[in-house]
Chain A
């Protein structure tokens, strides 16, 4: 196995607020190899965007408290100076943001903003930067790019803005690309094109890609490995196949059972996870998921409510990790969960 290209170790991002400290990311660790795609899924508000913004160094100079290690090709990004980080950002590491409109300046044309992202890191003329911007707009499928390059962000549809953001993120051929909900605003045919584009980039440049998305279908089709987050921490991590076929922890089970089906019965209500997302000001003690977990009574002595489970390999696959006190998750999955989410697959394995 090649050495990890990116290693996150015990990353914490805490926001002091008037109500107390919001622990948006609270001890996150994972690895990513060159040329691989990591899919990050999980609860809305679980720290997916915040932890990624921390990799990009976006909390420098704010009151957020960031600690731990973000090691990219051997050097810890948290120890870089501000100017070293600025050189890196948008060039070696690049992020496509979840909110395309607010990430773009309303008073500059789309083309100017894309060209600017290129000029910051390359010593080129205005004209060369502009034609590079047009080329990128074309590559992400904007029609008549030589004309639309002069449009302002509000003149683009939601999906076109997202493609423009992607063009900006890819313009310097980054080594690490973080795509935060890159295709949520797109129809599925354009989504498929953008995913093709990300795969091409990866093949051509051996880039490492992190895709954050709520669309589990996208993760299933794109990711090599999958990280599931809940309340600021990793709760499960493993290969794509393991996460979808042999998931080990109750939050992941809940996610998989909530997916609406393009062919399933429409009259039955969907099955959400009961209860509300946890407060990050006063996160639940023990396992953060325990107040909503339908399986906590299977663990003796009420340990779920008192003891934080570690992220450990539970089964035979050493790289499949999960954070749960259940001692026989595979049996519970097969006997209680699978019959609910995929009755036709019961007894298959």
Chain B
């Protein structure tokens, strides 16, 4: 069995991935923000590794959900994809074009095709402009409609997102949190983008309007084939909207999979903790708080992330190897990848690290001179061969 594994040809070269239907492909994307010293001469004394090597793909007209720890780099990822930030490393392919380093002139047409709904509905709207001019701005900037048609189109958009067209002449501060969020959504929809980075698009809405907006986004997605990178903390909403979901922790993707697998059979201890902490309405009948997996310790700093697995300082099942070697994002099912040395369902994590032989280390993560490490595909999509947890071998399909 171990023979099969160490010589498995499938691991040699990254297997070809079906990439034709992807509108967005992100490889090994990184964003490091400099940290300056205080004092008169402000030197760079380190970096916030906000995003540190993430790869994923979004199919045209499809949706990828991005969830995870507050501060793990979701918005930063979104801002790189919309090219509001220039990545420190890695590449972004959009609709067949490499947009990683594209210049200001190249960006203008891109702004039409990739839109963003911002997380903070308060600061992303200019307080001095009326709602009508905010929502109409993209139409005017890109000259898509004759001037006399803009008003009608804007009122139509306001109505679509459930705002009263009588609000046309009002200013952002006169709106509630949820109303502002819908203004942001209307603005992002004006140009019918091909890709929408939706950063917490419904978090400020009451559940009924949230349901309306989600149904609306779904209809628009079907009608205009819009792809979504959908960032949210509400795991039920993400599950509802996204067939594919990635979980991030401290700048890295720790688990990604189709929603059925990820929600029903999560294999990473962080995903398991996350799902156990979702507040539940049925708790009203029982009283008190729901039982959950409590993560011990503090969220580590992205300036000095822990060695090896970044989750190890809070992980309930961590062992020596976790501090020594970083677990690769290993494909363990047809549409399922996980970055853990001990992947498994709750209560069924293996006792020995499954990654040991692949990485050429012993059970404590120390180099094993006798082993021959295997190259593990790190591309954005899935391969048609993967590491089978039951047989502990690569090459199963």
Q: Which residues of A contact B (CB under 8 A)?
A: 15, 17, 19, 22, 41-45, 49-50, 98-99, 101-102, 141, 143-144, 147, 150, 155-160, 162-163, 181, 184-192, 195, 199, 214-218, 220-222, 240-241, 243-245, 254-256, 258-263, 266, 269-273, 276-277, 279, 281
Can you identify 13 A-B contacts, CB atoms within 8 angstroms?
A44-B205, A45-B176, A50-B176, A98-B177, A163-B70, A186-B233, A190-B69, A216-B207, A217-B280, A241-B287, A260-B234, A266-B259, A272-B212
A101-B123, A143-B298 known; A220+B292 contact, CB < 8 A: no
Interchain CB contact under 8 A, A270 and B120: no
Interchain CB contact under 8 A, B68 and A187: yes
A159-B71, A217-B278, A270-B211 known; A43+B287 contact, CB < 8 A: no
Task: Give chain B's interface secondary structure class.
Answer: loop
How many A-B contacts are there with CB distance less than 8 Å? 205
Closest to A189 in B: B277
Query: B301's contact among A144, A258, A277, by CB below 8 Å, is which?
Result: A144
Interchain CB contact under 8 A, B233 and A188: yes
What is the CA–CA distance of A42 and B278 in the complex, to the nearest angstrom?
20
Interchain CB contact under 8 A, A99 and B122: yes
Interchain CB contact under 8 A, B177 and A44: yes
Interchain CB contact under 8 A, B287 and A262: no
Interchain CB contact under 8 A, A185 and B203: yes
A188-B235, A191-B277, A276-B164 known; A260+B240 contact, CB < 8 A: yes
What is the CA–CA distance of A13 and B374 in the complex, to the nearest angstrom?
67
Query: B284's contact among A157, A241, A263, A281, by CB below 8 Å, is which?
Result: A241
Interchain CB contact under 8 A, A181 and B177: yes
What is the CA–CA distance of A279 and B174 in the complex, to the nearest angstrom?
13
Residues in B whose Cβ lies below 8 Å from that of A214: 178, 203-207, 210
Residues in B whose Cβ lies below 8 Å from that of A270: 210-211, 214-215, 240
Interchain CB contact under 8 A, A49 and B177: yes
Interchain CB contact under 8 A, B164 and A189: no
Residue from A184, A192, A245 with most neighbouring chain B CB atoms (10 Å): A192
Residues B263-313 near A (CB distance < 8 A): 263, 273-275, 277-285, 287-290, 292, 294-295, 298-301, 303
Q: How many residues of B contact A (CB 8 A)?
A: 72
Closest to B177 in A: A98
A185-B200, A188-B279 known; A157+B75 contact, CB < 8 A: yes
A214-B204, A217-B283 known; A186+B179 contact, CB < 8 A: no
Q: Does B119 reach chain A (CB closer than 8 Å)?
A: yes
Query: A262's contact among B68, B200, B239, B288, by CB below 8 Å, is which?
Result: B239
Q: Does B38 reach chain A (CB closer than 8 Å)?
A: yes
Interchain CB contact under 8 A, B236 and A261: yes
Minimum CB–CB distance from A88 to chain B (whole Å) comes to 25
Residues in A whose Cβ lies below 8 Å from that of B288: 221
Interchain CB contact under 8 A, B281 and A269: no
A220-B282, A260-B239 known; A255+B206 contact, CB < 8 A: yes
What is the CA–CA distance of A254 and B210 in the complex, to the nearest angstrom?
12
Residues in B whose Cβ lies below 8 Å from that of A162: 70
Closest to B287 in A: A241
Query: B235's contact among A98, A144, A186, A262, by CB below 8 Å, is which?
Result: A262
What is the CA–CA distance of A247 and B263 in the complex, to the nearest angstrom?
30
Closest to A269 in B: B215
Interchain CB contact under 8 A, A43 and B208: yes
What is the CA–CA distance of A297 and B239 in the complex, to the nearest angstrom?
36
Residues B180-231 near A (CB distance < 8 A): 200, 203-212, 214-215, 218
Closest to A186 in B: B70
Q: Does B329 reach chain A (CB closer than 8 Å)?
A: no
Residues in B whose Cβ lies below 8 Å from that of A45: 175-176, 178-179
